[in-house]
Structure 1
Amino acid sequence: MDSPILLLEHTDQATKQMLENVRKRKVKFDKSKRLHTISIWATLVLTSIYFIYLYFTIAKLYSYSFAAMFSAFVNDSNNLSFLVVTVGLYGFMNVLKQKKEKKEKEFHELRCEIVDRSKDLWKKEMEWKNRHIVFEMMKTNYDINLYHEKK
């Protein structure tokens, strides 16, 4: 368990465990989001490089005839390799997007559960009055908003 969560006062062990779980899911979601963003940029860069390559090796040299362009495209083995890698990277980007959305959904479901059950988690009068300290700590340390359900 992370030290700021362990050091919380007026919070029982079960609530601390829930806060730790939401922190872990936030870390997984952020990592997945970062990987997806990197894959988007890699796909865009590789696609741009591929189109520039096609322009200089085929379009510019054989622009007088579509048949000549097509023939040159098919005869160059680099085109197939480049195309397979580009399409593969696009597919990988989509897989990462699905994983990111799944992790985001899991994170927000657990976060909303904590928000919904806050009256049960901080039952005692003293705990209820000091819950804002927990919410503020989660917001400042981990960027997790427990004040309301909306993102």
Structure 2
Amino acid sequence: MMAVLEEQVDEAMKTMICHLIDKKLKYDHYKSTHFFLLSIFILYTVTMLFLCYTLVIIPNNFSMINSLTQLLGSRYLIFLFLAGVFLFGVLKYYFDKKEKAEAEFHDLRCELIEKSQEMWRKEQWGNRHKVFDQLKQKYDINMYYESK
């Protein structure tokens, strides 16, 4: 990628493209981490519902008061519930990080698209598609349109 950048763009544009690639990699990292944690959370929730149903609700003949008493009386179920709350907090944290990284990436990409006419020299304007195509192929960054 750098070889194409060396030939086609000046130093300022190269720096901006490198920052854009860094933002994209950061966004992809948070996106994949969030998806992994979301999958774990869904699996955890389904497992907890199954455990509560089979270990608490069915033995108490669907009595709400007895079920709550047994649920609050057992330490391991409360511990598992608190672990679920912690997992939800971590999931929310990574969701916010992912959203912030996506906004930063999208803003920088839009800024680069807007400034591309100013930053590409006249003689290199026709060759910019080589750089844009490589960004699309290697990093899945669309530099032709501002829409996501």
- The alignment's TM-score, normalised by the length of structure 1, stands at 0.92
SS in structure 1 of the partner of residue 117 of structure 2: helix
The Cα shift of 1:28 comes to 0.2
Alignment-mate amino acid for residue 57 of structure 1 = L
Residues 5 and 19, structure 1, Cα contact 8 Å, conserved in 2: no
1:146 is aligned to 143
Is residue 133 from structure 1 mapped to residue 130 from structure 2 by the alignment?
Answer: yes
- The alignment's TM-score, normalised by the length of structure 2, stands at 0.94
- Over aligned residues, Cα RMSD in angstroms? 1.2
Is residue 94 from structure 1 mapped to residue 86 from structure 2 by the alignment?
Answer: no
The match for 1:114 among 102, 112, 115 is: 112
Higher RCO structure (Cα 8 Å, ≥6 apart): 2
Between the aligned residues of both structures, percent identity stands at: 31
1:123 is aligned to 121
Map 1:56-95 → 2, pairs under 5 A: 56-95=54-93
Greater helix share, structure number? 2
SS in structure 1 of the partner of residue 8 of structure 2: coil
Residues 85-143 of structure 1, C-alpha deviations (whole Å, 9 max, x = no match): 1111112111111110000000011111110001111022x211111111111111111
Equivalents in 1 of 2:34, 2:126: separation in Å? Answer: 40
* Contiguous gaps of at least 5 residues in structure 1: none
The Cα shift of 1:64 comes to 5.0
The match for 1:52 among 45, 50, 53 is: 50
Total equivalences in the alignment: 147
The Cα shift of 1:14 comes to 1.4
Equivalents in 1 of 2:102, 2:83: separation in Å? Answer: 28
* Contiguous gaps of at least 5 residues in structure 2: none
Equivalents in 2 of 1:146, 1:70: separation in Å? Answer: 56
The Cα shift of 1:10 comes to 2.4
The Cα shift of 1:40 comes to 0.8
